[in-house]
Every structure is written in structure tokens, then in C-alpha cells.
């Protein structure tokens, strides 16, 4: 039967993972965004937002979920319109793939209402248009893992080639989100425009080492490879207390610590849930002492599912 209404979920993501700028990302279980969508007789999109977060655009011309939904309706031309509500749980400018989660949840919802839904893999291009709309960059390291789940390597952008990567199930991801905002456009604007060859070679080695370490669960290799010698030094100054938080995480037993996406969230990798709780406490305490800010904590194993349908009601 054809669904009449549907609710979808798209999870947050950690991108870059240290050295993998724009090419590495992983999905976590929380937070994330929800979309509720229903068919309507009138063509086009009726859009609303439900959120406790600040600075979330209510205007469909400025909201990325509405933008993605309208792109799909324009291209696929269904015989109906859609009434959509974005339930925005993720803060904007968090470094957790907020725009990607909204885009992916919207694309999933529209797709589920179609008479002949597209394959999940065909939805990625719509989500990437959402990233371009939001921050001016067509990067897939948040959208791909949010859509597909697990870890993703963006091997190429032209042509787009997304490769799933294995992540040892014993590893635990910690994200500490301080209550400050760093907009992706601003974080990208300060990145270096040229890179010394020596730094590039070190970075390439770290990316390869990290992918291998995550797959093997090789803790020593992960420790050596979560090192960003190019982007982290530029972006760290946008995050008050970052250096102190990183030192606290590593001292508490983290296998690695760096900036999640464009920040201000900071992620760590822990060898167990017990270790993750100790590390997260050290990180939030350090943020409070060094920068005078409170933080939210998210602890999660790798989300292997990605975007999903929460419920559907058939016509």
C-alpha cells in the first residue's frame, strides 16, 4: 500500500575524524532530526518547524529541509503535494551535521510518500544539494553517514564515490557540544589555501592509518592517527578552551580527540562505555573551567542504520 503519512529520522554525524577533512564521517545514535510528512491534494509544499533550538529558519525559502523537499517535488513531479513538519532537535552550528540531518530526514520522508520510491543511494544527491544551499560547499562527509549509517570514506567527489568503512564495534564515540555556535561557512573561510607538502604527506598517512585502525580496532594505531596537522590548528581558535579539553580527554584515556566537523563540538574515541563516561566528564569539566561554558554530552557506539522510517500510515 502507498503511505499516506510518514515520520523519518536522520542521525547526527562526526565528520573529518581528525585528519579526514571532507572525506571521513561516521553516524552516531543521537542527537538527530525528525520529519513528519503527509500527502496533500494541493501541489507543492506546506512547511512548518517544531523546535526548541534557536536560529532555526521557519521560512521554507531559508530552511534546508524545505529546500531539499522542494527540489525533489520539482524533479520527480508526483501527482500530489506534501505537508511537512521538521522536528528540529539538533542545534545549528554544532559541528554534528545539523544541516545534513535535516536534509536527509526530508529526503527520506518525501521518498517514502512516492508511488515508486527511489533507492536510498539515490537520495544522497538531494542531501548534498542541501549542504551546498546551507554552507556553500557540496561535501558528503556528514550527509553520507547520516543517510547510510556506519563509517563512510568519500574517495572522490568527481565522480562521487562513497565507500563504507568498517568500524570495530568495541569503539565508543564521545561528542561534547559546548553551548557556543560556530557556523560552517565561517569555519571553512579560515582554512589554509595552500599546504606544505610535508604536512600533506603526514595527513595522508594519518587518514590511511585511521581507517585501518578503526577497522581493526587497533588502539595504538588510532592514537597515532587521530592527528590533524592542517585544519585543526586553524579551527581550534574558534573554540574557547579547545586545547585544554583535548589534553583532558587524552589524559583521561581517549584514543584520540579532535574537532567534530567545523566545531564547536569536540569528539573523542573511547575503548569502552566505562571509559567513555570518564572521558566525557573530563572534557565537560575542562570546557567549564577553561572557557566558562556548559556542554551537552553524547555517547554512542557507531550507528549502523543511518536514516530510518520511524512510522508510516498507509492510505
Model pLDDT for residues 89-111, shown as the tens digit of each residue: 998 888 999 999 999 999 999 99
Q: Which three cell numbers stand for residue 210?
A: 585511521
- Residue 205 has a pLDDT of 98
- Residue 233 has a pLDDT of 94
- Residue 164 has a pLDDT of 98
184 catalytic? Reply is yes
The answer, yes or no, to whether residue 260 has pLDDT greater than 90, is yes
The answer, yes or no, to whether residue 188 has pLDDT greater than 90, is no
State the Cα–Cα distance between residues 124 and 143, nearest whole angstrom.
Answer: 7
Give pLDDT tens digits for 141-180.
999 999 999 999 999 999 999 999 999 999 999 999 999 8
Give pLDDT tens digits for 116-145.
999 999 999 999 999 999 988 889 999 999
Query: Is-contact 234 190, C-beta < 8 A?
Result: yes
The answer, yes or no, to whether residue 185 has pLDDT greater than 80, is no
- Residue 121 has a pLDDT of 96
Spell out a b/e string for 138-168, using b for 16 or more CB atoms within 10 Å of the CB, else e: bbbbbbbbbbbbbbbbbeeeeeeebeebebe
pLDDT averaged over every residue in the chain: 95
State the Cα–Cα distance between residues 136 and 188, nearest whole angstrom.
Answer: 10
For CA atoms 43, 98, 147, 157, the dihedral sign is positive
The answer, yes or no, to whether residue 2 has pLDDT greater than 80, is no
Q: Which three cell numbers stand for residue 249?
A: 580527554
Cite the DSSP H helix spans in the chain: 64-76, 98-113, 124-135, 143-148, 184-189, 197-216, 219-225, 231-235, 242-251, 273-291
- Residue 119 has a pLDDT of 97
The answer, yes or no, to whether residue 182 has pLDDT greater than 80, is no
What angle do the packed helices 124-135 and 98-113 form, to 10 degrees?
A: 140
- Residue 192 has a pLDDT of 86
The answer, yes or no, to whether residue 285 has pLDDT greater than 90, is yes
Give pLDDT tens digits for 9-59.
999 999 999 999 999 999 999 999 999 999 999 999 999 999 998 889 999
Q: Which residue segments constitute the domains of the chain, with CATH numbers given?
A: 3-165+303-314 (3.30.230.10), 172-300 (3.30.70.890)
The neighbour count for residue 296, using CB atoms within 10 Å, is 15
- Residue 183 has a pLDDT of 73
Name the residue among 115, 21, 127, 28 with its Cα closest to residue 69. Answer: 127
Query: Is-contact 268 218, C-beta < 8 A?
Result: no
Residue 314's pLDDT band, with cuts at 50, 70 and 90, is confident
Average the pLDDT over 302-315 and give the result.
Answer: 94
State the Cα–Cα distance between residues 278 and 257, nearest whole angstrom.
Answer: 14
Given 8, 134, 184, 284, the catalytic residue: 184
Average the pLDDT over 191-206 and give the result.
Answer: 94
Given 112, 129, 131, 232, the catalytic residue: 131
Q: Which three cell numbers stand for residue 22?
A: 571532507
- Residue 1 has a pLDDT of 62
Residue 315's pLDDT band, with cuts at 50, 70 and 90, is low
- Residue 92 has a pLDDT of 87
State the Cα–Cα distance between residues 58 and 53, nearest whole angstrom.
Answer: 11
Query: Is-contact 1 314, C-beta < 8 A?
Result: yes
Amino acid at each position: 500500500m502507498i503511505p499516506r503519512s510518514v515520520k523519518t529520522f536522520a542521525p547526527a554525524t562526526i565528520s573529518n575524524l581528525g585528519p579526514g577533512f571532507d572525506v571521513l564521517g561516521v553516524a552516531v545514535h543521537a542527537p538527530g532530526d525528525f520529519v513528519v510528512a503527509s500527502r496533500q491534494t494541493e501541489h507543492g509544499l506546506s512547511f512548518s518547524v517544531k523546535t526548541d533550538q534557536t536560529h532555526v529558519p521557519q521560512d521554507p525559502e531559508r530552511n534546508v529541509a524545505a529546500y531539499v523537499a522542494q527540489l525533489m517535488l520539482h524533479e520527480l513531479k508526483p501527482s500530489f503535494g506534501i505537508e511537512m513538519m521538521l522536528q528540529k532537535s539538533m542545534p545549528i552550528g554544532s559541528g554534528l551535521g545539523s544541516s545534513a540531518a535535516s536534509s536527509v530526514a526530508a529526503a527520506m520522508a518525501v521518498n517514502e510518500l512516492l508511488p515508486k520510491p527511489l533507492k536510498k543511494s539515490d537520495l544522497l544527491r538531494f542531501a548534498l544539494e542541501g549542504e551546498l544551499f546551507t554552507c556553500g560547499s557540496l561535501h558528503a562527509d556528514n550527509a553520507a553517514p547520516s543517510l547510510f549509517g556506519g563509517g563512510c570514506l568519500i574517495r572522490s567527489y568527481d565522480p562521487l564515490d562513497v565507500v563504507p568503512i568498517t568500524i570495530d564495534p568495541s569503539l565508543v564515540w564521545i561528542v561534547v557540544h559546548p553551548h557556543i555556535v560556530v557556523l560552517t561557512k565561517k569555519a571553512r573561510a579560515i582554512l589554509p589555501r595552500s599546504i606544505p607538502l610535508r604536512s600533506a604527506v603526514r595527513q595522508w598517512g594519518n587518514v590511511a592509518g585511521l581507517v585501518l585502525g578503526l577497522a581493526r580496532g587497533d588502539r595504538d594505531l588510532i592514537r597515532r592517527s587521530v592527528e590533524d596537522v592542517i585544519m585543526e590548528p586553524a579551527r581550534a581558535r574558534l573554540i574557547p578552551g579547545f586545547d585544554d579539553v583535548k589534553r583532558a580527554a587524552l589524559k583521561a584515556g581517549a584514543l584520540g580527540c579532535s574537532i567534530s566537523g567545523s566545531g564547536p563540538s569536540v569528539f573523542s574515541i573511547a575503548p569502552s562505555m566505562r571509559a567513555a563516561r570518564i572521558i566525557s566528564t573530563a572534557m565537560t569539566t575542562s570546557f567549564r573551567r577553561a572557557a566558562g561554558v556548559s556542554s551537552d554530552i553524547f555517547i554512542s557506539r557507531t550507528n549502523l542504520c543511518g536514516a530510518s522510517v520511524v512510522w508510516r500510515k498507509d492510505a
